[in-house]
Amino acid sequence: MATSAGTADSPSVIFAYAIYTRQSRVRNDITLSSYDVQFQICRDHAEAIFPPAIPWCGTRYDDPGQSGEDLDRPALQSLLAEIEKGTISHVIVYRLDRLSRRLADTVQILDTFKRHAVDLKIVTAPSLAVSATSHFMLNILASFAEFEHGLISERIKESVRGRRRRGQRLSGKPPLGYDLPDYGKELVVNDSEARKVRKLFQLAASGQTPRRIAEYANKQGWATKLYVSRSTNKSIGGKPWAARQILELLRNPVYAGFQRDGKGGRRPGRHQAIVKPERFDEVQALIDSRRPATRERHKHDLPFKGKVFCAQCGRPMSPHTILKPRQPHIRYWHYRCRSHAGGRPPCKGVSVSAGELDRFVRDILRDRRELDADPNLTPESRDALEAVGWLIAGLRVPDPCLALGDIVERITFGRDSIRVEFSEAVIRELRATYGGSRTTQEDEDPGSRRGGRRAR
């Protein structure tokens, strides 16, 4: 990092340039990705126009596999954070649409650059300067980027509608029993896998439940469909069966020669069926007959539903209701590890009361020592979380449970510890609202803060 020589009365000014690149899709089957090409072109352009006194900042800001539809991109947010700190004086991009494909977002970024006196350089438009005419041209370029994005979206939607009208397959990995050859986009029957699929449908038609069928398939050594992604070259599948996966297979109309229409129904396909439509409909009727009769289910809003994970196996913990025979009107809600994903049984004894977990998170938000112990939180973020914690404790938010669910990103529960991770997006909003303003509730009730977190 280079700095100009400041005087005793004025601080030194930092001069360094950063390069931002973005690529919507990443393909690992090529040796040089698009964002690497962008970076090298921008680096060569910078060496040609900048003097040695303005060096590269030394950090790459690359967003591979990120869409330009919004600003929620890791590298872009890191770059904007450095600009806010005043460590970047110039930003170079290959094209303006690498920053954003939406006019409003582009204007917001350019306003940030202008506010911090950051000079934007565009390799494909090197003549643009800081004049009013150049600012007008930047807005025109941003408008064209948004217009181009809209045209591409319309063409994709029209292509999807056309393929549906012609009964063609849209996208996705091939299911068990089919392969996807390189020369076409239609499914081709895999004879050895098709025999397994017919056996699974035969077991289902005989009345076997998805869990029993999954156990049978695993005993036979059958694995889920092994598929190699063409974009990432990674192997997907090849794992033991779970009841949910068996149910998805039995519900897939592809095996009867149809395609899903995107509205919960099906449309004729152009591939060969593996099971007869009559057998497929028979299995659907059996599955539907096992569904419980329509009745009013007891609903309870749990703020951390879908966010609690077992520390032992890493699988999500689902809500569970406990009823007491002598007190049928009272329900006790717990999060329990009871998933059979991957063909493995759930972890025994891993359960936590929903109310206890709720109080645990509330206490963390009000305990400054707990927030200070989290290295991923900045001082401003700790101030904002602590302020909201006291607002929730005082019921000064419309829905405390909903607020807790928004703040928490993930909870990893173990028998000896609980780790709470907060949502970065929500923290940014909280900092804008509560950052830097410490609540007075702590002074009013200092004895209510507790240290030392316990899992149970």
Give the pLDDT score at 325: 60
> Residue 96's CB: how many other CB atoms inside 10 A?
24
Residue 332's pLDDT is what? 73
Task: Provide the pLDDT for residue 443.
Answer: 40
Distance CA 79, CA 227 (A): 37
3-state secondary structure of 263: coil
pLDDT at 444: 39
* pLDDT at res. 100: 82
CA–CA distance from 263 to each of 41, 260, 273, 451 (Å)? Answer: 45, 8, 21, 52
Domains of the chain: 2-149 (3.40.50.1390), 178-289 (3.90.1750.20), 308-448 (no CATH)
Q: What is the pLDDT of residue 402?
A: 58
Q: Beta-carbon neighbour count of residue 10 at 10 Å?
A: 8
Q: Which residues contact 454 (CB under 8 A, 6 or more apart)?
A: none
pLDDT in tens, the chain (456 residues): 444 444 444 445 578 999 999 987 665 544 455 888 899 999 999 999 999 889 999 999 999 888 877 888 899 999 999 999 889 999 999 988 888 877 778 888 888 888 888 988 888 887 665 455 556 666 676 676 666 666 666 766 666 565 556 555 555 678 898 887 765 567 888 999 999 999 999 999 998 999 899 999 999 999 998 877 665 677 788 889 988 899 999 998 889 888 777 666 777 777 889 999 999 999 999 988 877 654 444 455 678 888 889 888 888 888 877 766 665 556 678 888 877 666 677 888 788 888 888 888 888 887 778 777 777 777 777 777 777 777 666 655 555 555 677 788 888 888 778 888 887 777 777 666 655 444 444 443 433 333 334 333
**Start-to-end Cα distance in the chain:** 49
User: What does the pLDDT read at residue 323?
Assistant: 65
Please tell me the number of Cα atoms within 13 Å of 273 on its side-chain side.
15
Rounded CA-CA distance 377/431 in Å is: 11
The pLDDT value recorded for residue 20 is 94
Cα 239-245-248 angle, rounded to 5 deg: 145
Q: What is this structure's pTM?
A: 0.42
**pLDDT of the residue at 448:** 33
